[in-house]
């Protein structure tokens, strides 16, 4: 048998650059995926915040992007408009007014190792749309208004089939909330 250690050493030496390049590519692609998830989360939060106050949508969205450490966007656009359609076929139409907000951010992709090889990834873009629908409201108040023998109290008694009224429920809640 001949000594093959020299052959093995040559094969390992020839394979090492490819192994290092594959590792570098895996690290950079992982960093790009992580940055995309981070930016998408920041843009989602910015859209949800902006839709709460459409008059100040731009400022609210930018505040949330900054609070989520998304200082890296090259550009961030905030547009108000409307959402039309149902299911997967919903579309956003920018109109300057409406009940929806679209936040779009363009950011540079990180590159740690492949940049050294002269490879650069294009900038990426993420977007989120949030719409606001006022379907109903509920309010809990204090003893400023009571319904002892009113229509609402009679309706409550009629629906429950008992003599439980709103004043009884309120007194019960009030006694539990006081220290």
pLDDT computed for residue 130 by the predictor: 94
pLDDT computed for residue 157 by the predictor: 64
The residue whose two tokens read 């547009």 is 79
Spatial contact of 41 and 127, defined as CB atoms under 8 Å apart: no
Lay out the sheet containing 124-131: strands in order across.
Answer: 91-94, 75-84, 100-107, 124-131
Q: Which of 45, 28, 27, 23 is nearest to 109 (CA)?
A: 28
pLDDT computed for residue 14 by the predictor: 94
- Band (pLDDT 50/70/90 cuts) for residue 156 is low
For residue 40, report the phi and psi dihedrals to the nearest 5 degrees.
-65, -40
pLDDT, tens digit, for every residue of 123-133? 999 999 999 87
Task: Decide which of 134 and 32 is more confident.
Answer: 32
What is the CA angle 82-75-48, rounded to 5? 40
Q: Which of 27, 19, 36, 40 is nearest to 119 (CA)?
A: 27
Q: What is the pTM of this model?
A: 0.65
- Band (pLDDT 50/70/90 cuts) for residue 69 is confident
Q: Taking the CB of residue 10, how many other CB atoms lie within 10 A of it? A: 10
Residues 6+ apart with CB under 8 A from 60: 46, 49, 50, 52, 53
Task: Decide which of 73 and 22 is more confident.
Answer: 22
Q: Write down the mean pLDDT value for the chain.
A: 80
pLDDT, tens digit, for every residue of 158-177? 676 665 544 544 444 444 44
- Band (pLDDT 50/70/90 cuts) for residue 41 is very high
Torsion of CA 143, 144, 145, 147, to 10 degrees: 30
């Amino acid at each position: 048998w001949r000594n093959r250690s020299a052959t093995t050493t040559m094969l390992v030496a020839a394979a090492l650059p490819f192994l290092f390049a594959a590792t570098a590519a895996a690290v950079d692609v992982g960093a790009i995926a992580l940055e995309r998830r981070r930016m998408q989360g920041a843009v989602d939060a910015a859209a949800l915040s902006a839709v709460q106050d459409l008059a100040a949508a731009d400022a609210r969205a930018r505040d949330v992007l900054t609070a989520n450490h998304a200082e890296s966007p090259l550009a961030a656009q905030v547009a108000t408009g409307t959402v039309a359609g149902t299911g997967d076929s919903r579309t956003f139409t920018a109109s300057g007014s409406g009940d929806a907000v679209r936040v779009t951010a363009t950011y540079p992709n990180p590159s740690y190792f492949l940049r050294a090889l002269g490879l650069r990834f294009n900038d990426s873009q993420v977007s989120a749309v949030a719409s606001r629908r006022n379907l109903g409201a509920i309010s809990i108040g204090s003893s400023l208004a009571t319904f002892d023998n009113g229509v609402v109290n009679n309706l409550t008694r009629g629906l429950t089939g008992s003599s439980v009224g709103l004043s009884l429920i309120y007194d019960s809640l009030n006694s539990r909330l006081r220290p």
